[in-house]
Amino acid sequence: MDIVAQAAILIERIVFNHPFVDGNKRTALIAGSVFLLVNNLKIVPTSDEEELIYAKEIERLILSKDREHFLQWLRAHIHKLIVKEVNVMKEETKAKKNSQKPTPAMPVQKAIEISMKQFEKELEYLKDR
Digit-coded pLDDT (tens) for 37-49: 888 887 766 667 7
Clarify whether residues 38 and 75 are in a common domain: yes
56-70 pLDDT, tens digit each: 877 787 778 888 888
Question: Do 33 and 70 sit in the same domain of this protein?
Answer: yes
* This model's pTM is above 0.75: no
pLDDT in tens, 70-106: 888 888 877 765 555 666 777 777 777 666 665 555 5
What is the number of structural domains in the chain? Answer: 2
For 41, list phi and psi in degrees, rounded to 5.
Answer: -125, 155
Structural domain range at position 110 = 83-129
Same domain, 87 and 118: yes
Examine the pLDDT at 125 and tell me if it is beyond 80.
no
